[in-house]
Amino acid sequence: MGMIRTLDDIFLFLPEKPIKEYRFHPVRKWRFDYAFPSLKIAFEYEGIFSVKSRHTSIKGFIGDCEKYNEAQLLSWQVYRVTAGMLKDGKALDVI
């Protein structure tokens, strides 16, 4: 396998492809970066090192906590992945 830089690179090797930007909540407009709805498994790329990322603000972090808690209440398994995890291969450990 070549260099893995994105979740897309990993998902190329899976028999089922995820849905990007999947809206999982019946009321809120929350979306998962990648989701396998039939399995209720989702992956979120956490761009905490990006200058533009909403994950770097307190408001964004609090919103993400609310989103992930609601996802669990709806029986979703959510895996959070960073660029560092993709680079060192740790992202493969959860997939």
pLDDT tens digits, one per residue of 7-65:
888 788 788 899 999 999 999 999 999 999 999 999 998 876 555 566 667 888 899 99
In this predicted structure, the answer to whether residue 85 has a pLDDT above a threshold of 70 is yes
- Phi, then psi, of 56 in degrees rounded to 5: -90, -10
| 3-class secondary-structure state, position 7 | helix
pTM of the entire predicted model: 0.82
Residue count of the chain? 95
Span of 30-34, 49-53, 85-89, 90-94 with lowest mean pLDDT = 49-53
Q: Please name the helix (run of DSSP H) or strand (run of DSSP E) that holds residue 27, with its range, or none.
A: none
Whole-angstrom CA distances from 76 to 47, 51, 53, 55, 87 are 21, 29, 24, 20, 26
- Phi, then psi, of 48 in degrees rounded to 5: -65, -15
Burial 56-84 (b: 16+ CB within 10 A, else e): eeeeeeeebeebbeebeeeebebebbbbe
